[in-house]
Structures are given as C-alpha cells and as structure tokens.
Chain A
Amino acid sequence: MSEGKHTGDDVLVSIENLNFNFNIQRGIVKAVRDLSVTIKKGETLTLVGESGCGKSVTAHAINQLNPMPPGVVESGKIYFRDKDLLTLPKSQIEALRGTQISMIFQEPMTALNPVFTIGSQIADVYRTHQRISKKEALAKAVELLDLVKIPSPDERIHNYPHQLSGGMRQRAMIAMALASPEPGLMIADEPTTALDVTIQAQILDLLNDLKKTVGMSILLITHDMGVVSEMADRVVVMYAGRKVEEADVFSLFEEPKHPYTLGLLNSLPSNPKYRGAKRLEAIDGTVPDLLTIGEGCPFANRCGFVKDKCLKEFPEETKISDDHFVWCHHLQQQEGRV
C-alpha cells in the first residue's frame, strides 16, 4: 500500500483501510471493505459504482450518520484536518457537522422535513452555528435560496417541501448545506439523480461555482459517468464495498484499466470512444450478496478475464502512473508488480 500519499498538507480527508459492517439479524453485511481514500483541499473527488456498492455508507462514515447499531466500524481510521474522527467524542462530531462538513442528500423528496417550512429549516441551521436572530437567519435563508437560483425566494421560504418541485427541493437542500459558516468539505450524495437533465446541469454548475468561490472540497457520489466527466478531479471506482480503481479523471477516461470500469464507461452512450470496445458480458451478472461475500475479487463472477486466483484473494495494488492505481489480478500480470 502507498501509505505516503494519504498524508500531507494538502490533504483534507483521509480514510484509511476502513471496514464498515452492518450486523443484522441474518448476518454481517460487509458494506465497505479495506477502503482507503484521500480528498485533497479544493478538489472534487467522485465515488462511482452501481447501486448498493457502499458509496453512501462510505460518505456517511465521515460525518457518522450511519445508524449505529446496526452499523459497526470494524477497523480503519478517518482523519479530517488531522483529527481522528472515529475517536472524537460525539459532541465534537456534532460541532463539525454543518460547520466544516456539509452534506447534500440523495433523495430530495424525503430529505427535507415535511412539517417545517424550508425557510425555517435553513434558518435553524444558521442559528445552530451563529448567534443571530430569527429574522436575520430568515433573511440569510432568502439570500441562500437566491444563490441557488430559486425564483422569488422571499416567498418560497414560507413554503413546505411538498409545495416545491423536485428540482427546487434539491436546490433548497443545497442551500441548507451552504448555511455552514466555514465549509471545508461538501459531501454530495447523488445530488442530481432525481432531476431532469437541464436542472441537473444547472445544479452541477452551481456546485462548481461554489467550489471555486468558497474554496471547498467536494466528495461527489454518483453512478453516472457523465456527471463524473463533468465534475471530477479524481475518481474512485467502487465495486461491492471495495475500491477497484483510482485515477485522475483524464487517465480514467483515457485509459480505464479495471474490467468493471470499462463496463461502466461502456454504458455511457455519449462516448464514442468506448462504443466499439468489447462489451463485457460481465456486466450481465449480478452483484454478489454482501452477506455472503468471500475474500476474492468481488467482480470475479461477472468478469471476462476471471482466473482461479481471482476467486481466492483480493489483488494487490497495481500502479499504472503516479495518479492511477488499479486492483486487478489480470492487470497485475500484464503490468507487472510495482
């Protein structure tokens, strides 16, 4: 493992060898396994992978929003600005949330509280972190709604979530996440999945603008490679709880290495580069059950290059370049050990 790159002045978040399980009645769900990810200051890191591969669990592990129990951190460390988050008392985690780590949720339909107006929800976040009056907080809420381009924000603050369209709700969510005084990390969990394409583009633009003006890092979760190409500086590809490839966005699109990444890119219709590529039969199979998953490469049952070894052990890291790593027995052989 290349421990060296996980520390340094420019690193904001560093997840090291995280194993996250859910102990449920039927057994242990190994949702995240041996995952190491770093997020540098001011960069956008995207987590990609198909549904259920552990993206949200990873993100929620940072600000500790996974339900515990049944969730358990089996092992691993998570550093944020050199603070060891997993050993921090609950009150300090609470203090970080909304001030230095903000979050936009996957489901705009259910992520806003149905019995409070959006104005009061946003104002409440302000008032949690700053000593200001209700009126001032509401005025700031109007400013924020304006910032995320909600029309006639001074009226909208009095609306309940169900009175807003999906797109507006998603923006209101973003506004709420922006009510933090000193954002360091913005976790955006599929902020656009629920939206149609034009609104999706607007919201991604908005996030990019904000990133530049405020200078924050973004952890963007998505399973849409189109969104990745537009937003990412670096990409981590996850499969069934494991990291299988990590690269800067150019390398990933130019030279995808892992068979699963290839499959993902193949499914991107607008990319002529991959249209001709050999369609992976692998994509036809199903994701292994995280309850019964073994020690081998989780992608083995869908992979066209599968060997005996793949079934037995998870591969070591293969370094393609300084910014590009992949975990695959097949490639290990081709590239040779690094």
Chain B
Amino acid sequence: MLKHIFKRLLLLIPTLFGVITLVFFMIALAPGDPARVMLGERANAQQLEQLREELGLDKPLIQQYGLYLSRIVRLDLGKSITSGQQIKDEISERFPATIELAIWAMIFASTIGIIVGVTSARKRNSWIDYTAMGGSLVGVSMPVFWLGLVLIMIFSVWLDLLPTGGRMNVRYYFQPITNFYILDGIILWIREGNSQYLVSAFQHLILPTIALGTIPLAIIARTTRSSMLEVLQQDYIKTARSAGIKERRVVFRYALKNALLPVITIIGLQFGLLLSGAILTETVFSWPGIGKWIYVAIGARDYPAVQGGIIFISVFFVLINLVVDILYSVINPKIRMQ
C-alpha cells in the first residue's frame, strides 16, 4: 500500500514538471510584449525597460525558464504586478474561500447525487427514475453562471431570503481565524457564545453551493445509477439475497460499496473541475476566492499572477487526483493487496 502511494508520488513529478513547463511557455510565447501589454500604450521606454528587467524578460527564454523553475522549486511564484504583493501570499489568503465552497458543493453534490442515483436504480423505469434522470440531464446542460444568477434573482431579489454575494454579513465586525468561515463561525460561537457569524457564513454559502454543485450532482447521480444497475445484476447480490439478507441491507451495504467504486473516481475528478469552475461561480457571487482573483488578474493582464494561479490550481488538481486514486485503492481490496 505504502509502496503504491510512493510510486504514484514519483509518477507525479514528471506530470507536475510538464504542467509548469506548459504554462510557462504558453505565457512566454504569447504574441506581444508582456511588459507593453501590462503597462499599456502610454508607458515610456524607461518604464518598459524597468519592468522587463524586473520580470527577467531581458534574458534569453531558456534562462528565464531556468530561473522560473528554480523559483518554483523554492515555492516562490513571484510578485503580482497589480498589487505588488507576493503571489504566494495572495493565493494562500484566498484559497480557503475557494476550498470551503468547493468542499460544501461536493458534499451537497455527492450526498444528493448518490441518493438520487441509488433510488433511480432501484426504481428503474419508474416515473421517479425518469424524472431524476431527466433532471440530471438538464443539470449538466445548464450554464453555471446563469443558474447562479437565477438563484440570486429568486432567493435574494424576489424572496429576500438569502444574501446576493460575499461570504459574511459586512456589518459584522468579523476577524477570520482559519479563513474557513463555517469553522470560524463555530469557533466564535463556542468562544463568544455568538452564533451570528456561523449563521451568516452558512447563509452566504447556500446559493453558491447549489450553483457550483449542480453539475457534479447530476453527473454523480447518473454515474451512481448506472453503476448500481450493473452491480445489482451481479451474482454476489443474488448470493446475499439467497442468504436472506434484507433487501435494504443488500442495496445499501452489499451493492452500494461496490457501486461506489467508479463514483469515487468521478467525485474526485469533479472536485478538481470545481476548482476551475469556481472562476465562474465566484464571479457571479462575488466570492473572494482564487477563481475571482484569477479573473481579475486576467482582466488586468497581470501575467505573473495568472501564471502562478493557474499553476497552483493545476498542481492542486493533480494532487486531488492522486488522493482519489489512493482512496479508491483503500476501498477496493483487490488493489489494496497488491
């Protein structure tokens, strides 16, 4: 098992290296002079020269690449042009917001998706099944940002039930502790006996969670259903039934654990995709996460920030896939033993 993980980690290195290289050259080889693009038409020659030097653009490409790699190895992503801050710091400040949203969206999508999928499979070809599968097809066909806007329109504007964006009621004097606001809310509730932070954090999470979680929910439901249908036909399910195991237990223990194997892979993949899908959702909900930050950086042509942000998300994506792979082998005894 440990050996398996170690092997996967080793295999990761060339992939990460490739990802970094690809991002670097895509941006470096982009048409136009980055310094000119960043500073705009009216910048004078001296300003341009200074920025070039600052970014190392005056050196040959290969040398730039070497420098970039050596900095990345030291986990240094450089400075943002617009804010002048370390990109590393900017990312670590915003990443919790993105992760928090992604985790809740995934919890939402997985629980409901699995329940819907299992129910659909058990009631195959009933109206429940047709509705659920029709619904998931609509779910994957929807633009996320549009869903977000429609949710805001209904629940914030018309019904005035939930906030339109942000993470916390701006009128509260709130000092983040962990930057995971639900967690912070719980801590503050325990520490100060005031639950308003938790409630507000929760209210702010609901709509973005639904918007971001809908596509994965639909995909998970579809995967669970087809996987469950296949498992329910297996001989070992007949064996369990023939031994008098109650139908509920057959479905939720004997079949589900097998059916979840492919679902876990999908969940992991979707989690990684959520991080990049966040760029749309975060923009709609003014969610101060890394997606919105990259969006702003693109608008400002802050190339080092875009580069850093994208490398960060891609590395995270790769790592998530690794975790999923390991998790998969933990529940699949056939792989675990090897």
The contact of A95 among B233, B244, B254, B257, by CB within 8 Å, is B244
A111 touches B247 (CB 8 A): no
B257 touches A125 (CB 8 A): no
CA distance A101 to B337 in the complex (A): 35
On chain A, the residues within 8 Å of B333 by CB distance are 114-115, 160, 162
The contact of B238 among A96, A105, A124, by CB within 8 Å, is A105
Residue of B nearest to A63 (CB): B242
Q: A160-B333, A160-B337 are in contact. Are A176 and B243 (CB under 8 A)?
A: yes
On chain B, the residues within 8 Å of A235 by CB distance are none
CA distance A124 to B242 in the complex (A): 13
Question: For the complex, is B332 an interface residue (Cβ under 8 Å from A)?
Answer: yes
A97 touches B241 (CB 8 A): yes
B246 touches A94 (CB 8 A): yes
Q: A94-B247, A110-B234 are in contact. Are A115 and B242 (CB under 8 A)?
A: no
CA distance A94 to B247 in the complex (A): 8
Please tell me the number of chain B residues within 8 Å of chain A, measured between CB atoms. Answer: 24
* Residues 33-74 of A contacting B (Cβ, < 8 Å): 60, 63, 65, 67
Question: For the complex, is A116 an interface residue (Cβ under 8 Å from B)?
Answer: yes
B234 touches A180 (CB 8 A): no
A125 touches B236 (CB 8 A): no
CA distance A106 to B236 in the complex (A): 11
Question: For the complex, is B235 an interface residue (Cβ under 8 Å from A)?
Answer: yes
B244 touches A129 (CB 8 A): yes
On chain A, the residues within 8 Å of B331 by CB distance are 115
A residues sitting closer than 8 Å to B (CB atoms) are 60, 63, 65, 67, 90, 94-99, 101-103, 105-107, 110-116, 121, 124-125, 128-129, 160, 162-163, 173, 176-177, 179-180, 187
On chain A, the residues within 8 Å of B64 by CB distance are none
B334 touches A124 (CB 8 A): no
B244 touches A112 (CB 8 A): no
Residue of B nearest to A127 (CB): B245
Q: A115-B257, A115-B258, A115-B333 are in contact. Are A98 and B243 (CB under 8 A)?
A: yes
CA distance A55 to B234 in the complex (A): 19
* Residues 220-253 of B contacting A (Cβ, < 8 Å): 233-236, 238-247, 249
CA distance A128 to B245 in the complex (A): 6
**Measured between C-beta atoms, what is the minimum distance from B123 to chain A in Å?**
13
A176 touches B244 (CB 8 A): no
**Measured between C-beta atoms, what is the minimum distance from B259 to chain A in Å?**
10
A163 touches B337 (CB 8 A): yes
On chain A, the residues within 8 Å of B245 by CB distance are 98, 124-125, 128
CA distance A115 to B261 in the complex (A): 10
Residue of A nearest to B258 (CB): A115
Q: A115-B332, A116-B257, A162-B334 are in contact. Are A65 and B238 (CB under 8 A)?
A: yes
B238 touches A111 (CB 8 A): yes
The contact of B254 among A60, A113, A180, by CB within 8 Å, is A113
B258 touches A114 (CB 8 A): yes
**Measured between C-beta atoms, what is the minimum distance from A95 to chain B in Å?**
7
B236 touches A98 (CB 8 A): no
**Measured between C-beta atoms, what is the minimum distance from B69 to chain A in Å?**
43
**Measured between C-beta atoms, what is the minimum distance from B231 to chain A in Å?**
10
Q: Could you list 17 further interchain pairs (A-B, Cβ under 8 angstroms) beyond the known A98-B243, A101-B242, A116-B254?
A: A63-B242, A90-B247, A94-B246, A98-B244, A102-B243, A103-B239, A110-B235, A111-B236, A112-B236, A112-B239, A113-B240, A113-B258, A114-B236, A115-B258, A128-B246, A160-B334, A162-B334
CA distance A116 to B331 in the complex (A): 10
CA distance A203 to B242 in the complex (A): 20
* Residues 292-338 of B contacting A (Cβ, < 8 Å): 331-334, 337
CA distance A164 to B243 in the complex (A): 21
**Measured between C-beta atoms, what is the minimum distance from A161 to chain B in Å?**
8
Residue of A nearest to B333 (CB): A160
CA distance A94 to B245 in the complex (A): 7
CA distance A99 to B244 in the complex (A): 7
Residue of A nearest to B256 (CB): A115
Select the residue from A65, A112, A113 with max chain B CB neighbours within 10 A: A113
The contact of B242 among A90, A102, A107, A110, by CB within 8 Å, is A102
**Measured between C-beta atoms, what is the minimum distance from A101 to chain B in Å?**
8
B243 touches A65 (CB 8 A): no
B239 touches A173 (CB 8 A): yes
Instruction: Please list 27 pairs of residues, one from A and one from B, whose beta carbons are closer than 8 Å in the complex, sorted by A's number.
Output: A65-B242, A94-B246, A95-B244, A97-B241, A99-B244, A105-B242, A106-B235, A111-B235, A111-B236, A111-B238, A113-B240, A114-B236, A114-B333, A115-B258, A115-B331, A115-B333, A124-B249, A125-B245, A128-B244, A128-B245, A129-B244, A160-B334, A160-B337, A162-B337, A163-B337, A179-B243, A180-B244
